[in-house]
């Protein structure tokens, strides 16, 4: 099977290890991965800040970049949600504003093919045990987009439970937002920081060594807070845990 990797701008620029891990994991499972170079950003930060029109070139670009792939796999729930929920809205609004159906066509063509990594593993490949080995205590923060917009449900947890050597501990208040929220983290910095504090108090209380997530945007915010506080808890994307094996174990970068 051949799929396109939608690395996303945040992973490309700030968390390449997550994208590399996704490539290695998928290849290990027998999937051929392409990285169409025309991809940049889904437009979520602009859209959620109120600049809908600024996203329109990115809708066109993203749809064009991934044309022809049945599966566009991405290790970022929030970018999937952007494409699935908001691309059709951008198209509909453009049509209402008298600018035709071109963006709707682009959105409709792309949205059903974009799939979040854990959805792809569990639903398309039908695997839960991906042959990973990760001898650490882990707690999992389900991002809001994964939890509520995509409805990932138990998928990430089922994948984690099948990892050899991994001890999974439940995160109290897991369903609560970490406080990132894109530009919210800056526009309402005090509330955002208070939300991170509470999330991390819960995470630290589990005694876990690793705080796992499936969205690096949450981990950017939580990780930045952890480093400022000097806490030893290590934020890590799920793909990096699943890519880790006994032969090629995960090493802190």
Partner 1 sequence: MSDTFLGMPAFPQAAARAVRDRQLRANLRHATHTIRDKRARAVAELPDWAELRSAGKAIKDHTLRHLDRYLVQLEEAVTAAGGTVHWAADAEEANRIVAGLVHATGTTEVVKVKSMATQEIGLNEALAAEGVTAYETDLAELIVQLGEDRPSHILVPAIHRNRAEIREIFADRMASWGRPAPEGLTDSPAELAEAARLHLREKFLRAEVAVSGANFMVAETGTLVVVESEGNGRMCLTLPRTLISVVGIEKVVPTWRDLEVFLQLLPRSSTAERMNPYTSLWAGTTRGDGPSEFHLVLLDNGRTAALADQVGRQALRCIRCSACLNVCPVYERAGGHAYGSVYPGPIGAVLTPQLRGTASPVDASLPYASSLCGACYEVCPVAIDIPEVLVHLRERVAEQGGHPVERAAVAAAGYVLDHPAALAAAERLAGRTRALHPRRLPGPGRAWTDSRDLPEVPAEPFRDWWRRNRT
Alpha-carbon span 111 to 180, nearest angstrom: 25
Q: Which of 112, 227, 231, 249 binds partner 1 (CB under 8 A)?
A: 227
Distances (CA, A) of 209 to 171, 175, 220, 227, 234: 12, 20, 17, 14, 6
CA atoms within 13 A on the CB side of 144: 11
Q: Which of 29, 48, 67, 168 binds partner 1 (CB under 8 A)?
A: 48
Q: Which of 3, 6, 31, 39 binds partner 1 (CB under 8 A)?
A: 39
- Nearer to partner 1 (CB atom), residue 97 or residue 247: 97
Neighbour count for residue 108 (Cβ, 10 Å)? 14
End-to-end CA distance of the chain: 30
- Nearer to partner 1 (CB atom), residue 126 or residue 252: 252
Report angle CA 219, 121, 132 to the nearest 5 degrees: 70
Least distance CB 149 / partner 1 (angstroms) = 6
Distances (CA, A) of 152 to 18, 36, 89: 19, 26, 22
Q: Coil, strand, or helix at residue 168?
A: strand
Here's the x/- map for partner 1, 230-249, by CB under 8 A: it reads as --------------------
Q: Residue 2: beta bridge partners? A: 32
Q: Does 77 bind partner 1 (CB under 8 A)?
A: no
- Nearer to partner 1 (CB atom), residue 51 or residue 249: 51
DSSP state of 183: T
Q: Does 133 bind partner 1 (CB under 8 A)?
A: no
Q: Does 189 bind partner 1 (CB under 8 A)?
A: yes
Binding footprint of partner 1, residue count (CB under 8 A): 68
Q: Does 223 bind partner 1 (CB under 8 A)?
A: yes
Q: Which of 2, 164, 228, 248 binds partner 1 (CB under 8 A)?
A: 228
Distances (CA, A) of 19 to 8, 15, 120, 135, 245: 9, 7, 15, 22, 17
Least distance CB 178 / partner 1 (angstroms) = 8
Span near partner 1 by CB under 8 A; candidates 110-118, 128-136, 158-166, 171-179: 171-179
Residues 137-166 that bind partner 1 (CB under 8 A): 144-145, 148-149
78, 6 contact by CB (below 8 A): no
Q: Does 61 bind partner 1 (CB under 8 A)?
A: yes
Burial bucket for residue 228 (CB in 10 Å: 0-12, 13-18, 19+): exposed
Point out which residues bind partner 1 (CB under 8 A).
7, 9, 11-17, 19-20, 23, 33, 35, 37-41, 43, 45-52, 54, 57-58, 61, 86, 89, 96, 144-145, 148-149, 175-177, 179-196, 220-221, 223-225, 227-228, 253
């Amino acid at each position: 099977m051949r799929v396109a990797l939608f690395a996303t701008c945040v992973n490309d620029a700030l968390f390449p290890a997550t994208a590399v891990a996704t490539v290695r994991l998928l290849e290990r499972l027998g999937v051929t991965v392409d990285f169409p170079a025309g991809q940049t950003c889904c437009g979520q930060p602009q859209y959620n800040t109120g600049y809908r029109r600024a996203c329109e070139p990115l809708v066109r670009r993203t749809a064009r970049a991934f044309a022809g792939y049945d599966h566009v796999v991405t290790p970022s729930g929030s970018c999937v949600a952007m494409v699935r929920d908001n691309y059709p809205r951008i198209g509909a609004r453009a049509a209402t504003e008298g600018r035709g159906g071109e963006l709707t066509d682009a959105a409709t063509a792309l949205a059903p093919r974009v799939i979040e990594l854990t959805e792809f593993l569990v639903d398309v490949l039908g695997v839960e045990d991906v042959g990973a080995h990760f001898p650490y205590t882990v707690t999992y923060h389900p991002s809001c987009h994964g939890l509520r917009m995509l409805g990932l449900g138990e998928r990430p947890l089922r994948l984690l439970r099948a990892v050899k050597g991994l001890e999974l501990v439940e995160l109290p208040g897991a369903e609560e937002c970490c406080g990132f929220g894109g530009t919210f983290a800056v526009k309402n910095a005090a509330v955002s920081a208070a939300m991170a504090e509470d999330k991390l108090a819960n995470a630290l209380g589990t005694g876990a060594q690793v705080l796992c997530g499936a969205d690096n945007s949450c981990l950017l915010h939580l990780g930045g807070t952890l480093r400022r506080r000097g806490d030893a808890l290590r934020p890590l994307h799920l793909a990096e845990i699943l890519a880790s094996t006994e032969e090629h174990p995960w090493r802190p970068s």
